[in-house]
Amino acid sequence: MGMCNLSAPGADLMLARLAAREQVPLGVSTVASTAMESLIEEAEGHAWFQLYFSGDGVGTFKLVERAKAAGYKTIVLTVDVAEVGRRPRELRHGFTMPFRIGPKQFLDFAAHPVWSLSTLFKGRPEMANFQRDGYEFDRTESRTRADWDTLRRLRDMWPGNLVVKGVLDPDDAVALRDAGVDAVQVSSHGARQLESAPAPIHALSAVRAAVGPDYPLFFDSGLLGGEDVVKAYAQGANFAFLGRNLQFAITAGGEEGLSQLWSVLRDETSITLAQIGATSLAQGPLAASLSSD
């Protein structure tokens, strides 16, 4: 997730420390609020770089080189933001990136003094990967110029693992697999992009059927607890990612809140597996009788 430090100062680094401790990958956004070099270091290497294509792609490919130099071994190309979705809540609150302070924000700050004071002391969140010379990002710039040639170029220049995130259509997943993509991430961007997109948990089993049993398939969108994680595996995922609930935990309870959420997730997952007679998530087919609703 981009701009995590809007939740609380230092949120990115909290997530990086969690990744290091639990040995799970931290998704480092193109628009992260901490520089990609600091995050992979804090995560002790457990970090994947998420790439947005934008404009004519020149900046995009520069970021790929930079990620390589920083030691990233996995790139996740997100393809479900052809244009930034119209997000009424962001519009209502006057949210823009880079973050701009107007009269609405002053009212908001007054209503949330703890957040305002800590952010005042720690500095306002910035798109940290773009604070160096030669790196620019305009969030509103169209990303529709990315096509299959762009993917081929990325595949040719990136020797590490390449994941494509934001796939819901089984035919797309097969075409990506055949284009040399190492894993596909079924996701609807948490329904923040296209309100009418199919529910990713329903798309997942169709994508699994299309790509075959052995192709790595990842999943995110709407997983709230450990039972949901088991359901994602039951529908064919090999790995599940969590987004907003991690940020909510940080907002509510800081780094301690994040650790607390993680142990709840672990307990819920373990207890769900026990209820269905499985001893590990790898026994996914055993869980296939769980309803995805």
Ligand X SMILES: Cc1cc2nc3c(=O)[nH]c(=O)nc-3n(C[C@H](O)[C@H](O)[C@H](O)COP(=O)(O)O)c2cc1C
Q: Show which residues are catalytic.
A: 189
Residue 92 vs 214, nearer CB to ligand X: 92
Report CA-CA distances (Å) from 181 to 27, 72, 169, 213, 228. Answer: 18, 17, 15, 16, 26
CB of 250 to ligand X, least distance (A): 12
Q: What is the largest CA-CA distance in the chain?
A: 56
Measured CA to CA, the distance from residue 167 to residue 181 in angstroms comes to: 12
Residue nearest ligand X, Cβ-based: 243
Nearest-5° Cα angle at 79, 73 to 85:
130
In degrees, rounded to 5, the angle at the alpha carbon of residue 89 between the alpha carbons of residues 240 and 136 is: 70
- Residues of this chain that interact with ligand X (CB under 6 A) are 1-2, 29-31, 50, 78, 165, 187, 189-190, 220-223, 242-244
Between 164 and 211, whose beta carbon lies closer to ligand X? Answer: 164
> How far is residue 227 CA from its own chain's centroid?
20
> What is the number of other CB atoms lying within 10 angstroms of the CB of residue 121?
8
Task: Give the side-chain half-sphere CA count within 13 A for 108.
Answer: 13
Element containing residue 38 per DSSP (H, E): helix 36-42
Q: Which is nearer to ligand X, 68 or 244 (CB)?
A: 244
SS3 24: coil
Compare residues 165 and 231 and give the one whose CB is closer to ligand X.
Answer: 165
**196 or 289: CB nearest ligand X:** 196
